[in-house]
Structures are given as C-alpha cells and as structure tokens.
Amino acid sequence: MVAEGIKLMSLGMGVVFIFLLLIFAVVSIFSIFLKPYSYAEIAAGHPSRQDEGRKRGSLLSPKAGAGDTQLIAVISAAVSKYRGSN
C-alpha cells in the first residue's frame, strides 16, 4: 500500500516536472523569436509608459487641473466612506 502511494507520488511529481520544463522551453523559444521586436521598439525611440506618466503629471502635481481636483475629492470621499463602514 505504501509502495503504491510512493509510485503514485513519483508519477505525479514527474508529470509536474515535465510540464514545468515544457513551459520553460516554450517561454524561452518565444523570447528568442520576439527579442528583435522588443529592441526595435526601443531603438525607434518610443517612450516608455513611465515617461508618458511623467509628461502628463500625476494627480497630486501642482499642475493638476479642476477635473483632477474634483477626482481627488471623489476618491477621498469614497475612501472615507469605506473606512467608516468597517
């Protein structure tokens, strides 16, 4: 009975190990094929998402407009109501 359990455990662990190796191989192959495309985008001068966020400014920046101020007030009211109900 114990020997059968050990066989079943070994089989299960082997299946999981092979599945993880398969996933690793697929991801590695995709990274090899897609690497030229990712570097081409960087070389073309496309700004990253962080750069775009810095250009627009955050909600708490001094440049925030009236719409942003109203949004901050709505979010603050929602957070206050949520904390008050708990």
**pLDDT tens track for 38-60:** 766 666 666 555 555 555 555 55
Residue 70 and residue 38 in one domain: no
- Provide the pLDDT for residue 38: 72
pLDDT at 35: 80
Asked, for residue 38, whether it belongs to a domain, the answer is yes
> pLDDT averaged over the chain?
79
| Distant-in-sequence contacts of 56-59, Cβ < 8 A, 24+ apart | none
**43 against 15, higher pLDDT:** 15
Indicate if 13 and 37 belong to the same structural domain: yes
54 within some domain:
no
> Lowest-confidence range among 3-7, 10-14, 17-21, 38-42?
38-42
Q: Which domain holds residue 1?
A: 1-46
User: Percentage of residues in the chain with pLDDT exceeding 90?
Assistant: 41
Q: How many domains does the chain have?
A: 2
Q: Residue 53 falls within a domain, yes or no? A: no
Higher confidence at residue 6 or residue 57?
6
